[in-house]
Amino acid sequence: MILDKFSLKGKTAIVTGSNTGLGQGICRAFAEAGANVVGVSRRHSTETGEMIGSAFHNVIADLSSVEVIPSVIDQTVAKFGRVDILVNNAGIIKRQDSLEFTEENWDSVLNVNLKTVFFLTQAVAKKFVEQKSGGKIINIASMLSYQGGIRVPSYTASKSAIRGITMTLANEWAKYGINVNGIAPGYMATNNTEQLRQDGERSADILSRIPAGRWGTPDDLEGAAVFLASAASDYVNGFTLAVDGGWLGR
């Protein structure tokens, strides 16, 4: 049955940024599809855990440093015995005019959004190879993987790079049965867009370009995430799927 290919029963997924927003929605969707879920967050993902129950395990880690990566992998394997799926969702954004943009704002965003993403992905891929099981990696990109944006040079650089390394790693790791894909959310009602949504003029400009006529929600991302994490996407590799209400098609 075709719906069986979308099942995640018996799989274990690591999802970073699990305490709110898109990460929380993906954790919930994976659990509903049958997976055990390890949510990685800087603060306790209490609400996410309450939604999911015993199939959820929270790892507290500050992803601004790659030093936490071995612990994330070790705790996942200790709890659920293996890892099958990684979603690199955690990310930060700093807004400042590019003429004034600071080195601190540059480094802090690139460390979380790109450096740790790459080395966590590498560590999980090594575990896939060790398990001889293949696996699924989903990188959360952005509309700014395709566009320049305004006042967010480090975020744009990081998300453009995420789309690029998604293709690179797919090229290298397909031979191991590892699928590496991305999701580029459109303008979503999350913590990262709170400033934009509170700016009446800017919010109206954004909404006027979205054919769907609304900001996206975590629910809108769930189907794409389950698809890319499941056997239904076994021949999809190196592609970044836009979930944007039609923004890029405008």
Which residues participate in catalysis according to the annotation? 155
b/e sequence 129-153, b meaning 16+ C-beta within 10 Å: eeeeeebbbbbbbbbbbbeeeeebb
CA distances for 113 relative to 47, 140, 178, angstroms: 24, 10, 21
b/e sequence 90-114, b meaning 16+ C-beta within 10 Å: bbbbbbeeeeebeeebbeebbbbbb
How many whole angstroms separate alpha carbon 98 and alpha carbon 96?
6
CA distances for 177 relative to 37, 85, 181, 230, 237, angstroms: 21, 12, 13, 13, 10
Cross-strand bridge partners of residue 59 = 40
How many whole angstroms separate alpha carbon 218 and alpha carbon 189?
8
How many whole angstroms separate alpha carbon 223 and alpha carbon 39?
18
CA distances for 94 relative to 75, 180, 238, angstroms: 31, 27, 28
DSSP H or E run through 13:
strand 12-16
